[in-house]
Amino acid sequence: MSKQHKPILVVKGIQVPEELYEKLINDSTC
């Protein structure tokens, strides 16, 4: 994965930055 450009992931129809997406996963898997 290239850290130069952060791909936008579509989550539940919402475009979320990869960093935010990872945080959401970490929060969900407590």
Residue 2 has pLDDT above 70, yes or no: no
**pTM for the whole thing?**
0.36
In which band, very low, low, confident or very high, does the pLDDT at 22 lie, cut at 50, 70 and 90? Answer: confident
Residue 3 has pLDDT above 80, yes or no: no
CB 24 within 8 A of CB 15: no
Q: How far apart are the first and last CA of the chain?
A: 25
Range of the domain at 21: 1-30
| Number of domains comprising the chain | 1
Residue 11 has pLDDT above 80, yes or no: no
Task: Tell me how crowded residue 14 is: count the other CB atoms within 10 A of its CB.
Answer: 8
